[in-house]
Amino acid sequence: MTLPSSPAPQHAVARLRAERLARSLKPFIARGSRAERCPACRIQPAYCLCAWRPQVAAQSGMCLVMHDIEALKPSNTGWLIADVVPDTHAFGWARTEVDPALPTLLAEPQWQPYLVFPGEYAGQERVVEEVNLAPGKRPLFVLLDATWTEARKMFRKSPYLDALPVLSFKPEQLSRYRLRRSTRGDHLCTAEVAALCLELAGDDQASAALDDYLDAFSQHYLAAKRRLPLDLNDALHQRLQAYR
């Protein structure tokens, strides 16, 4: 089934991608592919995912701190978070400077920020395992969107995040993500981490929708890569249809 390409979204990750492309000295070509891609879902038009994008509400907010070219990668899952969670913010990361809008966001009185990272890398006085909100606060989950090696560097070299509590969890399930698989099964992709955060905060519908959307993204992306047919009437697509 071929669906028409959709216009590029205007969410925070799309804007960050556009800003990063504007600074590029040469075109960014995704590794292993020069195929045409839908500007909204980054998948080849014949396998477009746009018709299945969930429309859900969430009390939580997401703050993505993205390594240099992360927003340019078609396989990046921070884009999926911005598709699903209305209050998603995205900032590029650099070792020597910080976008002033980032600390401003973290200081906004409506938010209670949590830096999501394995607790073994932080002092135990910072580590929490649950989301406990003060009255009138909403959770804002700060996610370091990068490879694992890059994320550890970002964690160490971002002093403006040092005052935040570190939300740490050890999910029992192995990563289901199949596009950029870590060598360690307990290393989840960014969208999986976001879905777990949403669940901890009680945003159960948004968590389930993001999980299903990630599965569909993986399915469509790999089918396009391998020229395989898609079953758009399977249980996964039926669940996604219910979120629209």
Task: Output the pLDDT for position 28.
Answer: 53
Q: Is the pLDDT score of 3 beyond 90?
A: no
* 91 pLDDT above the threshold of 90: yes
Residues 168-210 have pLDDT tens digits of 986 554 445 455 444 444 568 999 999 999 999 999 999 999 9
Q: 227 — alpha (psi -120 to 50), left (phi > 0) or beta?
A: left
Q: CA 243 to CA 55: how far, in whole Å?
A: 6
pLDDT higher at 3 or 86: 86
Q: What average pLDDT does the segment 152-179 reach?
A: 79
Distance in angstroms (rounded) separating the CA atoms of residues 104 and 88: 15
52 contact partners, CB below 8 Å, separation of at least 6: 213, 216, 237, 240, 241, 244
> What pLDDT score does 4 carry?
44
Check: CB of residue 48 under 8 Å from CB of residue 3.
Answer: yes
The model's pTM is 0.89
pLDDT recorded at residue 22: 87
Q: Measure the CA–CA gap between 82 and 34, rounded to whole angstroms.
A: 25
Angle at 175 between CA 114 and CA 230, to 5 degrees: 120
